[in-house]
C-alpha cells in the first residue's frame, strides 16, 4: 500500500509518503479551510502582481456583499442560482458523472419558464399561485430534458458526457438568442417584454407593510426554493435507497453492478435530476430577478457550480455556504477591474481545493529501518 523508500541514507530513519488508511473526521474540513486560505493568499499575490491592492480588493468584496442587510440581501439573490447549479453539479459528480452543462440547462430552464408565460398557455390575468408553479415546472422540465440528452447518450452509447454537456451549452445559448432576438423580441431589443406581475416570484420587500425594515430588499422566493431543493437533495442522497445506489455507483461502479443496480437507468435519472435543478435556477432567475428573458442570463453560474460542488464536497449544506461565498464574490466582482478577477479567483480556489484534497489522502511518516 505504500511507496517503498528510495532514500537509503545513513540515518536509521527515513521519511515515507504513505497513503492514509483512514481519514480523521476533522481533516477534510480543515483541509478545505486551509485551501480557501491558500487561495486567498495566492489570489492576493496575483492581484499585487498586476498592480492592484489585494487588501483593498478583499475589503471591497466584504463590504460590498456583507456590509449591511441590504447588500446581504443582494448577495443572497446572487447565491440563489449558485446554490441550484452547485446542487446540480454535486448530484451528478457524486455518481462521478461530469455534468458541465449546468450553464446550458439553466438557460433552457429560463426558456421553459418564459415559454409558460409568453406562449400564452394561460390566459392573461392568471393569478401567480397557478402561473408561478407552472413556470417552475416548465423550467425544471426544460432543464431536465436538456440534461437528459447527455444522460441518454452516455448510458446508451457510452458518449463522453463532458463533451456533450459542454457543446449543449453553446447550442442552448444560440437557441435562447433565436427567441430573444426573434419571435419574443421586444421591439428589436435582445430581450423579451417584461412578464406580468403575476409571474414574479415574491420578494422580501413586498412584506414591508408588515416589517418596515425589509423595504427595498430584493431577495426572492427562489432562495427558499433553493433551500428546499438542497434539503431534498440531502434527503435523497443520504436517506433513500436511490441515493445509496447513486453513492455506491459513484464510489465503486463495479460493486454497484454486481449488486444488481441498473447503472444505465441511474445515469439517465441523475442527469434528468441534475438538469432539473439547473433548470430551476433558470426559472428562478427569470421569475425572481430579471422578470424577462434575455441572453445575458447565465454569467457562468454553471461553471461556478462546479467549484461550489467541490468546495462543499458534494454536501448540500456545504453547497449553500459555498454558494453564498461565491455570490458575494460575483456581486462585488461586478465593480472590480479587471473584470476577470472573480473567474481567476474561482480557478485558484478550485486548484487549491483539489491539491488539499489530494494531500489529505497521504501522510508523511518517519519509519525506522
Partner 1 sequence: MSLEVLLAAGVASGTVLLLAALGEILTERSGILNLGVEGMLFVGALAGFKVGLETGNPWLGLVAAVLAGTALALLHAFVTVRLGADQTVSGLALTLLGTGVAMVLGEGLAGGGTGALLPTLTIPLLSAIPFLGPVLFTDQSIMVYVGLLLVPLCWWWVERTRPGLHLRAVGENPTAADALGVNVIRTRVIYTALGGALVGLAGATITMAISPGWNANQTTSGQGWIAVGLVIFARWSPWRALLGAWLIATIRRLALDLQGPDEILGIPNVFHLYQPATFFLDMLPYLLVILVVVLGSREAIRRRLGAPAALGVPWHRGERGL
Q: Under the rule (CB under 8 A), what is the footprint of partner 1?
A: 1-4, 19, 46, 50, 98, 100, 153, 157-160, 162-164, 166-168, 170-171, 174-175, 177-178, 181-183, 185, 303, 306-307, 310, 337-348, 350-351, 354-355, 357-359, 361-362
Nearer to partner 1, 63 or 340 (CB): 340
Residue closer to partner 1, measured from CB, 152 or 290: 152
Alpha-carbon span 29 to 86, nearest angstrom:
18
- Please report how close the Cβ of residue 29 comes to partner 1 at its closest, in angstroms: 18
The three-point CA angle 156-269-94 to 5° equals: 100
> Which residue, 63 or 183, has its beta carbon nearer to partner 1?
183
In the chain, helix, strand, coil percent, each to 5?
70, 5, 25
H helices present in 4-101, as ranges: 26-49, 54-66, 69-94
Q: How far is the CB of 341 from partner 1 (least distance, A)?
A: 6
Hey, what long-range contacts does 26-30 have (CB within 8 A, 24 or more apart)? Answer: 27/360, 28/313, 28/357, 28/360
Q: Name 249's Cβ contacts closer than 8 Å, sequence gap at least 6.
A: 95, 96, 256, 261, 263, 266
Least distance (Å) between residue 43 CB and partner 1: 10
Contacts of 360 (CB under 8 A, 6+ apart): 20, 23, 27, 28, 31
Residue 137 or 344 having the CB closest to partner 1: 344
- State which H helix or E strand residue 16 sits in: strand 13-19
To the nearest whole angstrom, how small is the minimum distance from the Cβ of residue 111 to partner 1?
Answer: 13
For the chain, how long is the longest CA-to-CA vector?
Answer: 87
CB of 282 to partner 1, least distance (A): 18
What is the closest distance, in whole angstroms, from the C-beta atom of residue 277 to partner 1 in the complex? 19
Identify which of residues 209 and 337 has a Cβ nearer to partner 1 in the complex: 337
Smallest gap from residue 32 Cβ to partner 1 (A): 14
Nearer to partner 1, 217 or 350 (CB): 350
Distances from the Cα of 82 to the Cα of 70, 240, 249, 301, 323, angstroms = 19, 25, 26, 6, 5
**Residue among 123 and 338 whose Cβ is closer to partner 1:** 338
Note whether 303 and 309 are within 8 A (CB).
no
Amino acid at each position: 500500500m505504500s511507496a517503498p523508500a528510495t532514500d537509503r541514507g545513513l540515518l536509521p530513519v527515513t521519511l515515507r509518503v504513505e497513503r492514509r488508511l483512514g481519514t480523521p473526521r476533522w481533516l477534510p474540513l480543515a483541509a478545505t479551510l486551509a485551501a480557501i486560505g491558500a487561495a486567498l493568499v495566492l489570489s492576493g499575490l496575483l492581484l499585487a502582481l498586476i498592480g492592484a491592492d489585494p487588501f483593498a480588493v478583499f475589503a471591497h468584496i466584504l463590504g460590498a456583499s456583507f456590509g449591511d442587510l441590504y447588500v446581504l440581501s443582494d448577495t443572497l439573490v446572487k447565491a440563489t442560482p449558485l446554490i441550484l447549479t452547485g446542487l446540480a453539479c454535486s448530484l451528478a459528480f457524486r455518481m462521478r458523472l461530469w455534468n458541465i452543462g449546468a450553464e446550458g440547462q439553466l438557460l433552457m430552464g429560463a426558456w421553459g419558464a418564459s415559454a409558460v408565460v409568453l406562449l400564452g398557455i394561460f390566459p392573461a390575468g392568471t393569478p401567480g399561485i397557478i402561473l408561478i408553479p407552472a413556470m417552475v415546472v416548465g423550467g425544471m422540465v426544460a432543464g431536465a430534458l436538456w440534461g437528459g440528452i447527455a444522460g441518454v447518450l452516455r448510458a446508451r452509447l457510452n458518449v463522453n458526457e463532458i463533451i456533450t454537456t459542454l457543446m449543449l451549452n453553446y447550442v442552448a445559448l444560440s437557441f435562447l438568442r433565436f427567441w430573444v432576438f426573434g419571435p419574443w423580441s421586444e421591439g428589436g431589443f435582445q430581450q423579451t417584454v417584461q412578464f406580468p406581475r403575476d409571474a414574479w416570484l415574491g420578494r422580501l420587500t413586498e412584506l414591508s407593510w408588515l416589517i418596515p425594515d425589509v423595504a427595498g430588499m430584493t431577495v426572492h422566493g427562489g432562495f427558499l426554493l433553493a433551500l428546499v431543493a438542497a434539503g431534498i437533495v440531502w434527503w435523497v442522497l443520504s436517506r433513500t435507497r436511490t441515493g445509496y445506489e447513486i453513492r455506491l455507483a459513484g464510489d465503486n461502479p463495479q460493486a454497484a453492478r454486481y449488486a444488481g443496480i441498473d447503472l444505465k437507468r441511474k445515469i439517465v435519472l441523475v442527469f434528468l435530476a441534475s438538469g432539473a435543478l439547473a433548470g430551476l435556477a433558470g426559472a428562478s432567475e427569470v421569475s425572481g430577478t430579471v422578470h424577462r428573458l434575455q441572453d445575458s442570463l447565465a454569467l457562468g453560474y454553471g461553471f461556478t457550480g462546479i467549484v461550489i460542488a467541490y468546495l462543499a464536497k458534494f454536501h448540500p449544506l456545504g453547497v449553500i455556504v459555498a454558494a453564498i461565498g461565491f455570490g458575494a464574490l460575483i456581486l462585488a466582482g461586478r465593480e472590480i477591474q479587471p473584470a476577470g478577477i472573480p473567474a481567476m479567483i474561482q480557478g485558484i480556489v478550485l486548484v487549491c481545493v483539489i491539491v488539499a484534497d489530494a494531500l489529505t489522502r497521504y501522510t508523511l511518516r518517519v519509519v525506522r529501518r
